[in-house]
């Protein structure tokens, strides 16, 4: 049969490297349409027409016998196909933008000087918050370590760095000495070993000891909750209502952890009160368990979708896609072998030392895939450069905390003697401090994982000050968490079809996941409400009759400035200190009106520079695609041909949601 007549019989699963893969492709794919039931591969013997299971196309399929159809496997998303527009001419060298540069640079210099002067020991306010400061090592000044989370991380950083070195060195030696000698078959053909992977032997042992040192006897609670989640996943995975069970259990655990504050043994039984003295280094293990809960849900849902996929394709077809993942999308969406969803892999994944306490979050599928096939994006040079970036970020934080006491002043919250301009700068720096603090903590964890050969998502992909869109801001803030929400919450609840109420559900969960406080719920609902006007404005002004106008970028900056101010207010409400109400009242008072007007104009100019910088980034992307003659941004979608009779078609229309919840 010629290629043209068997186009629908071609499987696209990347390049087939091994003889087993090539044999599989010949057996499964190069058979004619008239293959008899006896000749068909296992798992396909009862089906008879040509349709395609596409592991990445997101739209449900309606019945249409006699034509090639596409349907998705549960737990997968689609490829967004869009043609690349031609970039606009550069404006960076024009007179207009040279004026913007001068104004922006002058404003930034003035902002730095004003904050430095407002934090001066010569100011009368200094005596009020001096007790919050600590002895510093730069410029003979005090350092602001009044943020408990940063103070803890900073003081324990030498211990964390030592632990990182010990773990990475021991794991490297273990793989070199033990894994290479005991499991050469795995190193040569990783797909031959299924279940407890040799590359997870040492992480499993180290993680167990690590958890016991951190949590002491409280490890029994961690084991109990994670064990029940594992049992629920293995028992109910694949059933339509299983995701509801997983969510109810995990949310109940979060609420119980918050209510009982780590479950003291003495409260359960007086005779066990002595055990409370052996609760490990991290006595409140429940504080960091929120991150573990995300991994528990990832394992349960990934296994659930693996079982559901077996309703759409044979085990052999699904397993064939495990080999040689090319992209992060492949690692996340392609299920592992059924045997890989075992308790030992699960436990090593939950307690993986580099990512255990803080993240970034990585899905179970991705984690196991990288343990089988190391990520090609990890290299010694890349890891060293990333470590230098981490060091530069830490030094910048030290410089800021020695010169601007934004955290101590915000906690002191006596704003009567500060001007509206100074108050707004401290509010901005308070949010910048939170961004930089989390960036350093997450970068350290990611650097540790990279040194161990695991590639994770950069949690802070873009500077906080380089955002004007609410949607883009939350995509780049705690990026791995955002991806987790999209995969396990947003898409299962309907995705874009239900985006309006979906957004409220997601941000309500985000608030409850962070902390059970009304203040965070208010923050979450304010953020969700802000999505509505931005979405409406994008829909209305995104039409050609507006985008073709020369003043379109001015309209965007006018709306973007409002967005920035609204996001700052919402985040100050959610993550600011107790005196944030006084801060906002002073800024939006009659005396602060002139400042707000000037700030609005300058922010518009700043956004023009941001817009042009984004366009500069797009020009480089466009040029790269043009050079390689790739005019569309597409993914190679792994396809598995499946035969199906016309009589089976009506059953497909009943499954409108392939992602689990609500099926």
What pLDDT digit, counting tens, does each position of 521-560 carry? Answer: 888 888 888 888 888 888 888 888 888 888 899 999 999 9
How far out from the chain centre does Cα 195 lie?
Answer: 26
Q: What is the DSSP letter of 143?
A: E
- The pLDDT-based confidence of 470 (bands split at 50, 70, 90) is confident
| pLDDT(44) > 90 | no
pLDDT at 632 over 60: no
**What band does 605 get if pLDDT is binned at 50, 70 and 90?**
very high
* pLDDT reading at 443 higher than 90: yes
The dihedrals phi and psi of 70, each to the nearest 5 degrees, come to: -125, 130
Of the candidates 192, 249, 204, 175, the residue with the CA atom closest to the CA atom of residue 346: 204
Q: How confident is the model at residue 578 (pLDDT cuts 50, 70, 90)?
A: low
Phi and psi for 633 in degrees, rounded to 5? -85, 100
pLDDT average, residue stretch 270-291? 84
pLDDT at 36 over 60: no
Residue holding tokens 């996929």?
Answer: 309
Alpha-carbon dihedral sign for residues 342, 345, 348, 350: negative
Per-residue pLDDT reduced to its tens digit, 256-265:
988 888 788 8
More confident residue, 178 or 44: 178
pTM above 0.85, yes or no: no
Share of the chain above pLDDT 70, in %: 82
Whether the per-residue pLDDT at 54 is higher than 70: the answer is: no
Average pLDDT over residues 632-649: 38
pLDDT at 16: 39
The confidence score (pLDDT) of residue 467 equals: 86
* Secondary structure letter of residue 460 according to DSSP: -
Structure-model confidence comparison of residues 414 and 659, the more confident one: 414
Residue-level pLDDT at 576: 63
Residue 81 reports pLDDT greater than 70: no
Residues with Cβ < 8 Å from 149, sequence gap 6 or more? 437
Task: Using the predicted structure, report yes or no on whether residue 599 has a pLDDT greater than 70.
Answer: yes
- Please give the distance of CA 433 from its chain centroid, rounded to a whole number: 20
Mean of pLDDT values over 571-588: 74
With cut-offs at 50, 70 and 90, classify the pLDDT of residue 463: confident
Share of the chain above pLDDT 90, in %: 46
- Reply yes or no on whether the pLDDT at 105 is more than 70: yes
Strand-pair category, 70-71 with 50-54: parallel
For 263-280, what is the mean pLDDT?
A: 82
Tell me, what's the pLDDT at 531?
A: 86
State pLDDT tens for residues 348-390.
Answer: 999 999 999 998 999 999 999 999 999 888 999 999 999 999 9
Spatial CB neighbours of 516, under 8 Å, sequence gap ≥ 6? 255, 258
* pLDDT confidence band for 31 (50 / 70 / 90): very low
Of these ranges, 82-96, 369-383, 440-454, 494-508, the one predicted with the greatest mean pLDDT is: 440-454
CA distances from 357 to 293, 445, 564 (A): 12, 9, 31
At 156, is the pLDDT very low, low, confident or very high (cuts 50, 70, 90)?
A: very high
* Residue with the two structure tokens 């190679």: 636
pLDDT score, position 2: 39
Q: Is the pLDDT score of 337 beyond 50?
A: yes
Window from 187-201, 275-289, 473-487, 500-514 with minimum mean pLDDT:
275-289
What mean pLDDT is reported for the chain? Answer: 81
pLDDT beyond 80 at 18: no
Q: Give the active site residues.
A: 514
Q: Is 583 in a helix, a strand, or coil?
A: helix
| pLDDT at residue 618 is higher than 80 | yes
Contact 580, 572 (CB under 8 A): yes
**Which residues 6+ apart lie within 8 Å of 491 measured at CB?**
77, 659
Is the alpha carbon torsion for 478, 290, 374, 382 positive or negative? Answer: positive
* The predicted structure's pLDDT at residue 381: 94
Band of residue 445 on the pLDDT scale cut at 50, 70, 90: very high
E strand intervals along 161-285: none
- Band of pLDDT at residue 38, cut at 50, 70 and 90: very low
Cβ neighbors of 518 (< 8 A, separation 6 or more) are: none
Q: How does residue 563 score in pLDDT terms, banded at 50, 70 and 90?
A: confident
Phi, psi dihedrals of residue 626, rounded to the nearest 5°: -65, -40
**Bridge partners of 633?**
82
Least Cα distance to 197 among 371, 330, 450 occurs for 371
For tokens 């000044």, what's the residue?
Answer: 141
* Segment 486-530, tens digit of pLDDT: 999 999 998 888 887 888 999 999 999 988 778 788 888 888 888
Q: What pLDDT score was predicted for residue 260?
A: 84
- Model confidence over 297-308: pLDDT tens digits? 999 999 999 999
Nearest to 425 by CA among 103, 104, 105, 110: 110
Cβ(266)–Cβ(272) below 8 Å: yes
Has residue 645 got a pLDDT over 70?
A: no
- Adjacent-strand bridge partners of 50: 643
pLDDT for position 116: 95
Residue-level pLDDT at 591: 75
- Partners of 640 in the beta sheet? 53
Secondary structure letter of residue 489 according to DSSP: I
């Amino acid at each position: 049969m010629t290629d043209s007549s068997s186009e629908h019989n071609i499987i696209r699963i990347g390049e087939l490297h091994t003889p087993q893969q090539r044999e599989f492709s010949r057996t499964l794919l190069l058979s004619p349409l008239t293959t008899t039931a006896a000749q068909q591969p296992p798992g396909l013997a009862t089906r008879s027409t040509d349709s395609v299971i596409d592991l990445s196309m997101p739209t449900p399929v309606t019945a249409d016998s006699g034509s090639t159809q596409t349907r998705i496997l549960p737990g997968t998303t689609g490829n967004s196909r869009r043609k690349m527009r031609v970039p606009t001419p550069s404006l960076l060298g024009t007179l207009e933008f040279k004026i913007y540069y001068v104004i922006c640079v002058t404003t930034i210099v003035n902002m730095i000087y004003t904050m430095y002067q407002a934090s001066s020991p010569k100011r009368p306010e200094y005596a009020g918050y001096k007790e919050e400061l600590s002895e510093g090592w730069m410029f003979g000044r005090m350092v602001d370590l009044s943020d408990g989370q940063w103070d803890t991380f900073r003081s324990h950083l030498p211990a964390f760095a030592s632990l990182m070195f010990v773990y990475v060195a021991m794991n490297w030696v273990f793989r070199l000495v033990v894994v290479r000698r005991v499991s050469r078959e795995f190193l040569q053909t990783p797909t031959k070993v299924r279940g407890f992977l040799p590359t997870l032997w040492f992480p499993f042992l180290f993680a167990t000891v690590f958890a016991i040192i951190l949590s002491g006897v409280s490890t029994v609670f961690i084991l109990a909750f994670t064990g029940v989640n594992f049992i629920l996943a293995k028992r109910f995975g694949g059933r339509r209502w299983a995701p509801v069970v997983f969510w109810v259990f995990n949310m109940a655990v979060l609420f119980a952890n918050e209510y009982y504050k780590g479950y003291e043994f003495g409260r359960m039984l007086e005779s066990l009160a002595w055990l409370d003295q052996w609760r490990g280094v991290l006595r409140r293990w429940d504080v960091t368990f929120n991150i573990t809960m995300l991994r528990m849900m990832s394992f349960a849902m990934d296994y659930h979708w693996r079982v559901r996929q077996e309703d759409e394709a044979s085990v052999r077809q699904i397993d064939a896609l495990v080999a040689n993942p090319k992209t992060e999308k492949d690692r996340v969406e392609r299920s592992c072998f059924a045997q890989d969803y075992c308790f030992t892999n699960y436990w090593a994944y939950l307690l993986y030392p580099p990512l255990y306490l803080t993240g970034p979050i990585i899905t179970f599928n991705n984690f196991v895939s990288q343990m089988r096939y190391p990520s090609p994006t990890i290299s010694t040079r890349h890891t060293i450069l990333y470590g230098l970036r981490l060091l530069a970020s830490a030094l910048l934080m030290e410089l800021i905390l020695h010169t601007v006491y934004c955290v101590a002043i915000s906690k002191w919250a006596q704003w009567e003697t500060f001007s509206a301009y100074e108050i707004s700068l401290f509010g901005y720096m308070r949010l910048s401090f939170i961004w930089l603090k989390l960036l350093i903590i997450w970068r350290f964890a990611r650097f540790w994982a990279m040194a161990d050969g695991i590639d994770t998502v950069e949690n802070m992909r873009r500077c906080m000050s380089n955002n004007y869109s609410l949607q883009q801001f939350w995509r780049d803030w705690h990026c791995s968490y955002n991806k987790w929400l999209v995969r396990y919450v947003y898409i299962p609840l309907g995705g874009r079809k239900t985006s309006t109420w979906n957004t409220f559900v997601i941000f309500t969960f985000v608030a409850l996941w962070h902390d059970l406080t009304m203040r965070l719920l208010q923050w979450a609902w304010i953020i969700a409400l802000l999505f509505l006007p931005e979405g409406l404005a994008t829909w209305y002004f995104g039409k050609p009759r507006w985008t073709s106008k020369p003043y379109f970028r001015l309209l965007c900056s006018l709306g973007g400035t409002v967005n920035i101010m609204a996001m700052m207010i919402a985040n100050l409400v959610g993550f600011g200190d107790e005196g944030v109400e006084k801060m906002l009242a002073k800024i939006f008072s009659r005396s602060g009106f002139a400042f707000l007007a000037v700030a609005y104009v300058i922010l518009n100019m700043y956004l023009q520079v941001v817009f042009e910088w984004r366009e500069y980034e797009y020009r480089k992307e466009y040029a790269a695609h043009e050079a390689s003659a790739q005019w569309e941004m597409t993914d190679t979608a792994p396809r598995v041909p499946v035969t199906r009779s016309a009589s089976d078609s009506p059953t497909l229309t009943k499954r409108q949601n392939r992602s689990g919840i609500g099926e």
